Homo-oligomer: A and B are copies of this chain.
Amino acid sequence: MTIAPVLSKPREMKKTAQILRGAMEEFLARGYAAASMDRVAAAAGVSKATVYSHFADKEALFTTLVETMARERFQSVRAMLDETMEPRLAIRQLLTIAMEDCCNNEEFHNFKRVLVGESGRFPELAKTFVEHLSKPGVEAIAEYFRSNPAFNFPDPEAMARIMIGSVVNFAMLQKMMHGDAIMPMEQARIIDTLEYLLFDCAPKSP
């Protein structure tokens, strides 16, 4: 019987959270297929039967884990852009934070590795990620471009995707795919060049 994380006693919440923490260790380290329910139980400090009393099967545990992690990540996309700040500074701050966030978080790297690796067999999980992270991020920036008179781009959403895509792909190439060892480049050069494109090239009304 599947037991959704219904909270009756705080005790039970703790167990479910414990299991999810163990599952995170195991799934992020080995990927879905190579992860072992024995090791999940060991990492969580419970028996395997307990794991199966909280989650129907391996797939359900994995699904819940990814959705939980996506929800937590989602919290941190709030209020990225400071409307009161000067646009050039606001954009620079946004890009710097996004770059830092994408580049220097090994746990997040492993999360994306699993998500991308399983996106063919677990399309709904990939969609959850896109829905809760990529989409709000792009829309926030696009809306900022649209509402701020300092910008006058023909296609604000495409522009937002180019900005985010540059940063995300840089992080994937350099950090996740180990490009740093083969084609090193400082993060600041991407940010500086994006700023150059947005502000120093932008068509000043002649």
A residues sitting closer than 8 Å to B (CB atoms) are 30-34, 109-110, 112-121, 123, 126-127, 129-131, 134-135, 138, 153-155, 157-159, 161-162, 164-166, 168-170, 172-173, 176-179, 181-183, 185, 189-190, 192-194, 196-197, 200-203
In contact, A120 and B116 (Cβ under 8 angstroms)? no
Residue numbers in B under 8 Å from A197 (CB-CB): 159, 162, 197, 201
Residue of B whose beta carbon sits closest to that of A186: B158
Query: With the chains together, A197 CA to B159 CA distance in Å?
Result: 9
CB distance from A175 to the nearest CB of B (A): 10
Chain B, Cβ-Cβ closest to A132? B182
Q: Could you tell me if A200 and B200 are in contact, using CB atoms closer than 8 angstroms?
A: no
Residues of chain B with a CB closer than 8 A to A33's CB: 30-34
Instruction: List 5 A-B pairs, minimum CB-CB distance, nearest first.
Output: A117-B117, A165-B169, A33-B33, A201-B201, A33-B34
Task: Enumerate chain B residues within 8 angstroms of A135, measured Cβ to Cβ.
Answer: 179, 182-183
On whether the beta carbons of B177 and A116 are closer than 8 Å, the reply is yes
- Decide: A178 near B116, CB < 8 A? Known: A34-B33, A157-B185, A158-B192: no
A165 contacts which chain B residues (CB < 8 A)?
165-166, 168-170, 173
Docked-complex contact B157 and A161, CB < 8 angstroms = no
**A194/B34 in contact, CB under 8 A:** no
Q: How far is the CA of A30 from the CA of B33 in the complex (A)?
A: 9
14 contacts between A and B (CB under 8 A): A31-B118, A32-B34, A114-B117, A116-B176, A126-B178, A130-B182, A135-B183, A154-B193, A155-B192, A158-B192, A159-B193, A159-B197, A161-B173, A169-B169
A158 and B200 within 8 A (CB) = no
The CA-CA distance from A116 to B178 in the complex, in Å, is: 11
List 16 additional contacts besides A33-B33, A197-B201; criterion CB under 8 Å.
Answer: A31-B31, A113-B118, A116-B177, A127-B182, A130-B173, A130-B182, A131-B182, A135-B179, A153-B196, A154-B196, A155-B192, A157-B189, A158-B193, A159-B193, A159-B197, A161-B169
